[in-house]
């Protein structure tokens, strides 16, 4: 019994350290020799997605400072006109975001307003599922839009073709047969795969080839080991000389920048930033989060620009929904619908403010009305950045945007 108990304790410890249970990694046909092959360096286009979890308030991020209805609805919460970092005659950034304004001034930022979808859902979990899968509001999918991209177009690539800098893998990167790879600490993960328990499992996996499920588990362990070793090795090639702030999102973006500059064979990176569910005391709380984000993105863009990767890097930031126009009695805002999506990079065809500002005089029961379906954005990224046909992934055709 003690041996069985110790075995399970070691097993649980390993699974937790390696994020194996949540990564849903695929097993390529070339697995057995994978660790000994030379991987061709990837120098093509890179997509970086940053998820704002909780529903960021877009109106206090990009502020319509000339709109009287904004201040009428937000008498205490509204950002004062003289504090706004103006970028157009009617819109400007929250005062804690000077790095974002600088990116705007450099032509490295495009803001898409009024992004949403029909029959919007105000549940965090359901709306995030919709955004991550690319589904309709009345449709439930078990795979993510980029997971289906991996299934359809990346059948011969390694799992770290798409990397999430976290211990768990988001639905976005989960496919039916192939998924991305999740790791928040590459050094720790690499060390975890070197322990004696893991090495013993890998060494004896042929003993269980007759059991399909057990064989799959062993192959996945080998896959984890080889992916961890490769990413850890790549992470040591380039160490950033740019000063990043000491926030969680900055740490994630620094690691991504180092992997990009190190020519890692990863095409998609995914980062997460939470805390945006600001029902109460929003002003200071959101300001802290936006400041962390702006500083981190500013450092990241400086890093990749200095290393000549700005032209082939595209950064997208989204949240599962926006907030209601009118502030609530708790100094915050409640769940809304349409919101902003931000794109950054050196290859934008339409930098600046992409489309019309939110119409605060025409609301749907207190909510902004969307004018751009978020799946149009996905279709555009797939077609114009990842160079694949969107229809097999999204299930239908959408009009492309012209920002890239």
Distance (Å, whole) CA 369 – CA 6: 57
**Boundaries of every domain in the chain:** 42-186+242-394
Pick the CATH number of 42-186+242-394 from 3.30.460.10, 3.40.50.2300, 3.40.720.10, 2.30.110.10: 3.40.720.10
Give yes or no for a contact between 267 and 45, defined as CB atoms under 8 angstroms apart.
Answer: yes
Give yes or no for a contact between 192 and 184, defined as CB atoms under 8 angstroms apart.
Answer: no
Query: pLDDT tens digits, the chain, 404 residues: what are they?
Result: 443 344 344 444 443 444 433 333 333 332 333 333 333 344 589 999 999 999 999 999 999 999 999 999 999 999 999 999 999 999 999 999 999 999 999 999 999 999 999 999 999 999 999 999 999 999 999 999 999 999 999 987 777 899 999 989 999 999 998 999 898 877 776 566 565 545 555 555 555 555 566 555 555 666 667 777 888 888 889 999 999 999 999 999 999 999 999 999 999 999 999 999 999 999 999 999 999 999 999 999 999 999 999 999 999 999 999 999 999 999 999 999 999 999 999 999 999 999 999 999 999 999 999 999 999 999 999 999 999 999 999 999 999 999 99
Other residues' Cβ atoms within 10 Å of the Cβ of residue 388: 15
Write out the two tokens for 392: 């097999």
- Residue 209, Cβ density class (10 Å: 0-12 exposed, 13-18 middle, ≥19 buried): exposed
Question: pLDDT at position 216, please?
Answer: 56
Q: From residue 391, give the alpha-carbon distance in Å to each of 49, 277, 382.
A: 21, 33, 10
Write out the two tokens for 222: 């080998």
Distance (Å, whole) CA 373 – CA 337: 12
Question: pLDDT at position 228, please?
Answer: 79
Distance (Å, whole) CA 84 – CA 97: 10
Write out the two tokens for 141: 């999918």
- Residue 99, Cβ density class (10 Å: 0-12 exposed, 13-18 middle, ≥19 buried): buried
Give yes or no for a contact between 337 and 364, defined as CB atoms under 8 angstroms apart.
Answer: yes
Long-range CB contacts for residues 117-124, cutoff 8 Å, separation at least 24: 117/370, 117/373, 117/374, 117/375, 118/373, 120/321, 120/337, 120/338, 120/367, 120/370, 121/321, 122/321, 122/335, 122/336, 122/337, 123/335, 124/53, 124/54, 124/55, 124/277, 124/320, 124/335
Write out the two tokens for 17: 């350290």
Give yes or no for a contact between 372 and 350, defined as CB atoms under 8 angstroms apart.
Answer: no
Distance (Å, whole) CA 25 – CA 183: 12
pTM for the model stands at: 0.86
Give yes or no for a contact between 372 and 401, defined as CB atoms under 8 angstroms apart.
Answer: yes
Helix (H, G, I), strand (E, B) or coil at 279: coil
- Residue 98, Cβ density class (10 Å: 0-12 exposed, 13-18 middle, ≥19 buried): middle
């Amino acid at each position: 019994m003690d041996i069985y108990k110790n075995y399970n304790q070691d097993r649980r410890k390993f699974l937790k350290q390696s994020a194996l249970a949540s990564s849903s990694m695929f097993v390529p046909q070339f697995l057995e020799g994978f660790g000994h092959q030379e991987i061709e360096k990837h120098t093509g286009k890179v997509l970086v997605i940053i998820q704002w979890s909780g529903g960021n308030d877009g109106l206090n991020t990009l502020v319509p400072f000339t709109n009287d209805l904004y201040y009428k609805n937000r008498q205490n919460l509204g950002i004062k006109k003289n504090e706004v970092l103006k970028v157009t005659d009617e819109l400007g950034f929250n005062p804690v975001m000077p790095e974002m304004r600088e990116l705007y001034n450099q032509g490295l930022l495009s803001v898409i307003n009024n992004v949403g979808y029909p029959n919007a859902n105000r549940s965090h979990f359901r709306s995030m599922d919709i955004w991550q899968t690319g589904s309709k509001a009345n449709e439930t999918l078990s795979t993510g839009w980029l997971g289906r991209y991996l299934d359809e177009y990346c059948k011969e690539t390694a799992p770290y073709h798409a990397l999430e800098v976290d211990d768990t893998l988001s639905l976005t990167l989960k496919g039916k047969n192939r998924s991305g790879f999740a790791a928040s600490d590459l050094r720790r993960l690499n060390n975890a795969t070197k322990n004696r328990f893991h090495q013993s499992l890998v060494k004896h996996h042929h003993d269980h080839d007759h059991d399909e499920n057990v064989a799959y588990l062993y192959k996945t362990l080998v896959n984890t080991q080889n992916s961890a070793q490769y990413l850890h090795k790549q992470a040591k090639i380039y160490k950033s000389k740019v000063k990043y702030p000491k926030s969680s999102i900055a740490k994630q973006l620094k690691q991504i920048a180092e992997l990009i500059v190190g020519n890692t064979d990863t095409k998609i990176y995914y980062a997460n930033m939470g805390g945006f569910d600001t029902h109460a005391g929003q002003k200071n709380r959101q300001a802290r989060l936006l400041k962390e984000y702006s500083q981190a993105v500013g450092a990241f863009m400086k890093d990749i620009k200095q290393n000549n990767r700005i032209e082939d890097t595209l950064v997208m930031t989204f949240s599962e929904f926006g907030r209601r126009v009118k502030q609530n009695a708790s100094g915050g805002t409640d769940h809304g619908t349409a919101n902003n999506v931000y794109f950054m990079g050196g290859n934008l065809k339409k930098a600046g403010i992409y489309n019309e500002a939110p119409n605060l005089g025409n609301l749907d029961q207190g909510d902004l009305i969307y004018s751009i379906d978020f799946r149009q954005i996905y279709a555009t990224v797939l077609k114009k950045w990842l160079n694949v046909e969107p229809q097999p992934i999204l299930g239908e055709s959408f009009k492309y945007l012209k920002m890239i």
